[in-house]
Amino acid sequence: MEQIKKFELSKDYLERLELEIVQENAAFILASLEGVNVADIAAILDELEISDALYVLRLVDKQLAADILIELYESTLVKLLQEVETTEIANWIVLMDSDDGADIISFFSEKEREEVIAEIDDRVKLEQILELLRYEEDTAGGIMAKEFIRANKNWNVVQTINEIRRQAENVDKFYSIYVVNNKFQLLGRVSLKKIILASSDTLIADILEEDIFSVPVHMEQGEVATLMRKYDLESVPVVNAKNKLVGRITVDDILDVVQEEAEEDIQAMAGVSADIEESDSVFTISKARLPWLLIGVIGGLMGAKLIGFFEGGLSKYLALASFIPLVAATGGNVGIQASSLIVQSLASKSAFDDTLWQRFFKGFLVALLNGFVLGIFVFLVVAYVYGFEPVFGITVGVALFCVVLLSSFMGTVTPLVLHHYGINPAIASGPFITTTNDLLGLAVYFGVAMLLLNL
């Protein structure tokens, strides 16, 4: 019994390992990896040179190698697959669950795929993989596994247990047995608990639980995640258009989906496109970041033009320049706050479209209150701490108040509009909206100044 046995991945061990790999000391390497968890071995190989990682992979048991492969960082995996003959890859794939095998194959180009597929000599596995490859990566079909236990409704408990025995080797984890008719259409499920507690001659049809959820193959993975989370499902069967049972999704697959989608949202908010990991190259990271920075820079250049229009006023009242960052930053902050709250509520439980106006109204009230507090605060500081004339304090305060209202409106509307058009609303908290809010804020600020200061 091991309690959260964290493998001690020290720099010393890694250096030693690299040395032993050079000296091809297989005995040391195998001994040091003995009993270490697959995910931990993968983490070690992620740190090695590709050729070294490959050496270790070829040294260990084939099944272990296949298990390690699917736990590697994507960047390591892709590089590694380029170094290996298609036969070797095919031999590994045969030892994987079909969904993992399909994932590996999907890293190859069309042409290479054909070559790898041609080398897979397990017919059942091959058919399963080919079927999985037909589905979009981020749909139920793309994340489901073909390994599940299926029982006919006319079987009794003994027949079902025999089927479990037959499949036990292929199917690692299962919580329930899916029940189908003679056309393999899904009828319901029987839990393992019921199988254990039922007498041997009990008919499956009699302990069948019909009132269960299933999802269609084409359902978007985020939707599957929401469904499983909302209804606390540990696994969900996947059916095709004819209600034929074609796969199942377990909650641990969904855990990865939830994590991925959260990371996507954070990346969208931070303005980083694509799926960037810290281990990617300098150019890849730079390329993922530049476009978003450019949006900000172009916005800034437009802002410069805008301020240029007010140069006359600015020259008469130079202090106006000092409060530009205040106005711009507050606009950005308010916009992000408003949009993140909307994004969050879009992602959670059923939101009524009917309450849209209610939401706008509430957002408006919050903005009114915050704008008022901040406006007064800034007026007091500008007029009585910084010692500008009161009318200038009023100008900055009023401008800030207007900017809070406007940014809050933009921050509320933008994610709703994006969501309506099927675009990830988290983008609304990113550089694009911040830039837009900056520009609007500047226009409002100088507009108010022109009016109140008679410039």
Quote the longest CA-to-CA distance of the chain: 96
- β-partners of residue 188 are 179
The yes or no reply on residue 221 touching a second copy (CB under 8 A) is no
Is 117 a binding residue for a second copy by CB under 8 A? The answer is: no
Which one of 182, 183, 196, 242 is in contact with a second copy (CB under 8 A)? 196
Residue with tokens 């500047």: 442
The answer to whether residues 167 and 248 touch, using CB atoms and an 8 Å cutoff, is no
Query: Do 45 and 17 meet the contact criterion of CB atoms below 8 Å apart?
Result: no
Please report how close the Cβ of residue 101 comes to a second copy at its closest, in angstroms: 17
What residues between 95 and 114 interact with a second copy by CB under 8 A? Answer: none
A 10 A CB-CB count for 378 gives 22
Q: Is 188 left (phi over 0), alpha (psi -120 to 50) or beta?
A: left
- 8 Å CB contact between 252 and 97: no
Among 442, 444, 448, 449, binds a second copy (CB under 8 A): 442
- Looking at the Cβ atoms of 91 and 235, the one nearer to a second copy is 235
Positions 400 through 439 that interact with a second copy (CB under 8 A): 400, 404, 426, 429, 431, 434-435, 438
* Identity of the residue, 120 or 410, whose beta carbon is nearer to a second copy in the bound complex: 410
In angstroms, the Cα distances linking 76 to 48, 53, 67, 173, 389 are 9, 9, 15, 27, 63
Cα-based angle 199, 205, 209 (whole degrees, multiple of 5): 95
With respect to a second copy, which residue has the nearer C-beta, 40 or 115? 40
Size of the site for a second copy (CB under 8 A): 142
Contact between 16 and a second copy (CB under 8 A)?
A: no
The dihedral formed by the CA atoms of 75, 79, 80 and 86, expressed in degrees to the nearest 10: 120
Q: Give the dihedral of Cα atoms 86, 89, 95, 101; nearest 10 deg.
A: -100
Two structure tokens written together for 406:
């406007």
According to DSSP, the residues that pair with 190 across neighbouring strands are 177
For a second copy, the closer CB: 111 or 305: 305
Tokens (6 digits) for 391: 């009318």
Residue 344 lies near a second copy (rule: CB under 8 A): yes
Measured between alpha carbons, how far is residue 10 from residues 6, 7, 16, 32, 43 in Å? 11, 9, 10, 13, 12
C-beta of 196: minimal distance to a second copy in Å? 6
Half-sphere exposure in the Cβ direction for 364 (13 Å, CA): 7
Give 20 or 47: the residue with its C-beta nearer to a second copy.
47
Contact 140, 224 (CB under 8 A): yes
Q: d(Cα 455, Cα 453) in Å, to the nearest integer?
A: 6
Query: Quick one: 9 or 118, whose CB is closer to a second copy?
Result: 9
Closest CB to a second copy among 63 and 121?
63
Least separation in angstroms between residue 279's CB and a second copy is 8
Write the binding mask 162 to 181 for a second copy: x where contact by CB under 8 A, - elsewhere: --xx--x----xxx------
Burial of 22 (0-12, 13-18, 19+ CB in 10 A): exposed
Q: Which is nearer to a second copy, 219 or 450 (CB)?
A: 219
Please report, as residue ranges, which positions from 291 to 310 form the binding site for a second copy (by CB under 8 A): 292-294, 296-297, 299-301, 303-305, 307-308
Residue 49-88 contact track with a second copy, rule CB under 8 A, x = bound:
------------------------x---------------
If residue 44 lies in a helix (H) or strand (E), which one and from where to where? helix 38-47
The distance of closest approach from Cβ of residue 97 to a second copy in the complex, given in angstroms and rounded to an integer, is 11
- Segment 348 to 407, residues that bind a second copy, using CB under 8 A: 348-350, 352, 354, 359, 362, 365-366, 369-370, 373-374, 377-378, 381-382, 386, 400, 404
Within positions 249 to 288, which residues make up the interface with a second copy, using CB under 8 A? 250-252, 254-256, 258-259, 262-263, 265-267, 269-272, 276-278, 282-283, 285-286
- What track of x and - describes contact with a second copy for positions 18 through 37 (by CB under 8 A)? -----------------x-x
Tell me the closest approach of the beta carbon of residue 286 to a second copy, in angstroms.
Answer: 5
Among residues 25, 152, 214, 240, the one that binds a second copy under rule CB under 8 A: 214
Q: How far is the CB of 369 from a second copy (least distance, A)?
A: 5
